[in-house]
Structure 1
């Protein structure tokens, strides 16, 4: 990356491996310097480097670009005065992090906004402490556990339910293209917008296409990727795509979108089994079971919390 040229928020997002909405939030909070050319936002390469340097200290969005440094810092033996990395993109994780920060003000709780497979790989490599997953396995019709076993070979883990969410299609109000099934994605006039590789939504789509015998090249826009459910919904709402895949909660934020429910998914937390009895993780489970946290999540809407905090598997 050159430090003498400027970058768009989308380019910054790719450089830092975060969502473009997180980039805008960093700019809004003054953590990342930016300037405007008309209505467009630009970030200098030098300011990106400056932000990355500051992130090597205390930052809500640590970089995974320097695995040895971060691995050495965490080293699977997090104590009460160190950092704890939480990976995942759902707003419920931001609320959970806030509750943890209140209980452990001396701990740096660091958030990484990455997908399910990347999160599990970070846990395997020692670059994360808590990760989320919503990965459907079509062979077993089971969520997450088969993937945890494959991606964490030789490592014992604990799978804890966070919420259940409804996954489905975002379409324009009134569903003018009549998009109801996976097969409708192949209609020649339908423009699709996809999630990035490694995300739970992308895995669900690819598994369903395989089961249905649908060739991905027959889907217009299959290669058009966005990093978040919000970005997908926004693109459909703006008319830049006809359909995208995401969770119902996000669709509720757009008055000009309809949601076509397809699949109820299990959204879990995954930690190392050796961490389960440590104070941070016992506090995490207690928070998940607390009336205040559960009521706050229920108040948001769009989530099933019936098994929140329940240990579903130890692998």
Structure 2
């Protein structure tokens, strides 16, 4: 995708994994550059990438130097399900904010008291576990509660018909296979890194491994445009991008991580109320790509 390529509101919403209203809000607050062609609002890919870079450096205004307050509620993560969750929490009177950063950086910001909730889908190749091994490493000495949000299927985005017959992690090592990768710290990137490590392969042996893109929709679109043969991402996005097929490989657990000292606070309990009410479960159960059967279940306390 070229830096000067014109993007619509829907394009930006897909790249950021947010709703259309969030895109308009970011534009109105001056956080996302835009321009008009006649009466049509347009964005450039460079503007979107700049916003993502700023979000990673400072997830929300003022939070880089000040801890998150108990009433100002910040949820980290990139899936649209978190936008809907945040909106439900806001309806309870909580100032619910979003930070669009990957799992690894989200846990780091939780450790630094910049946010109150980190979403995570980080797989550990040694244990086969999701999230808990990383929580232990990235939040040393911190008591936390891990709550399930949903399960998703991770796999390959490939061109229609899967012309290179890519079906296993080992297939990525074949000569002539071009990868479009996610940024370091994203859950999909960690999943790939771990599988490549377990195969005993050098990342540099895979063409395109160093080509980093900031979202599921961006890597899927790159494959659809022929700029790579394969990328790793969630099944849901494959249903939204024309010209690609999805090869399922691994079911992942997508969790929310909260410090135990904040678990009984009003914002966190409002969030738990939403998760347990069934509202969010019903909204996403019918969309496909989400398994919400364990939503709201506490999976680990440490």
Please give the range of the TM-score, normalised by the shorter of the 2 chains.
Answer: 0.7 to 0.9
Change (3 A) 1:275 1:202: same
Q: CA deviation at 1:69?
A: 4.5
Structure 1 residue 262 corresponds to structure 2 residue 255: no
Match of 2:118 among 128, 131, 138: 131
Residue 34 of structure 2 contacts residue 42 of structure 2 at CA under 8 Å; is this kept in 1? no
CA distance in 2 between partners of 1:277 and 1:296 (Å) = 26
CA distance in 1 between partners of 2:299 and 2:25 (Å) = 39
Q: CA deviation at 1:96?
A: 0.2
Give SS of 2:241's match: coil
Deviations, residues 212-251 of structure 1 (Å, cap 9, x unaligned): 1122111110001111111111111111111000000111
Match of 1:94 among 47, 71, 83: 83
Q: Normalized against structure 2, the TM-score is what? A: 0.83
Q: Normalized against structure 1, the TM-score is what? A: 0.80
Q: CA deviation at 1:84?
A: 1.4
CA distance in 2 between partners of 1:125 and 1:88 (Å) = 16
CA distance in 2 between partners of 1:68 and 1:255 (Å) = 36
Match of 2:70 among 56, 73, 78: 78
CA distance in 1 between partners of 2:83 and 2:267 (Å) = 16
CA distance in 1 between partners of 2:46 and 2:77 (Å) = 27
Q: CA deviation at 1:291?
A: 2.4
CA distance in 2 between partners of 1:210 and 1:68 (Å) = 37
Match of 2:131 among 144, 154, 157: 144
Change (3 A) 1:97 1:155: same
1:12-51 to 2 correspondences below 5 Å: 21=16, 25=23, 29-32=27-30, 33-35=33-35
The aligned counterpart of 2:11 is none
Give SS of 2:245's match: strand
Change (3 A) 1:67 1:258: closer
Q: CA deviation at 1:20?
A: 6.2
The aligned counterpart of 1:118 is 105
Q: CA deviation at 1:65?
A: 3.7
CA distance in 2 between partners of 1:301 and 1:86 (Å) = 23
Give SS of 1:70's match: coil
List structure 1 runs of 4+ shifted beyond 4 angstroms.
Answer: 19-24, 26-29, 36-45, 61-64, 66-69
CA distance in 1 between partners of 2:95 and 2:107 (Å) = 21
1:235-246 to 2 correspondences below 5 Å: 235-246=222-233
Structure 1 residue 299 corresponds to structure 2 residue 292: no
Larger radius of gyration: 1
Structure 1 residue 179 corresponds to structure 2 residue 157: no
The aligned counterpart of 1:220 is 207
CA distance in 1 between partners of 2:27 and 2:170 (Å) = 43
Structure 1 residue 231 corresponds to structure 2 residue 204: no
Give SS of 2:264's match: coil
Match of 1:166 among 153, 163, 171: 153
Unpaired runs of 5+ in structure 1?
A: 1-7, 11-18, 52-60
CA distance in 1 between partners of 2:234 and 2:4 (Å) = 24
CA distance in 2 between partners of 1:240 and 1:68 (Å) = 35
Residue 157 of structure 1 contacts residue 271 of structure 1 at CA under 8 Å; is this kept in 2? yes
Change (3 A) 1:178 1:116: same
CA distance in 2 between partners of 1:236 and 1:143 (Å) = 27
Residue 183 of structure 1 contacts residue 214 of structure 1 at CA under 8 Å; is this kept in 2? no
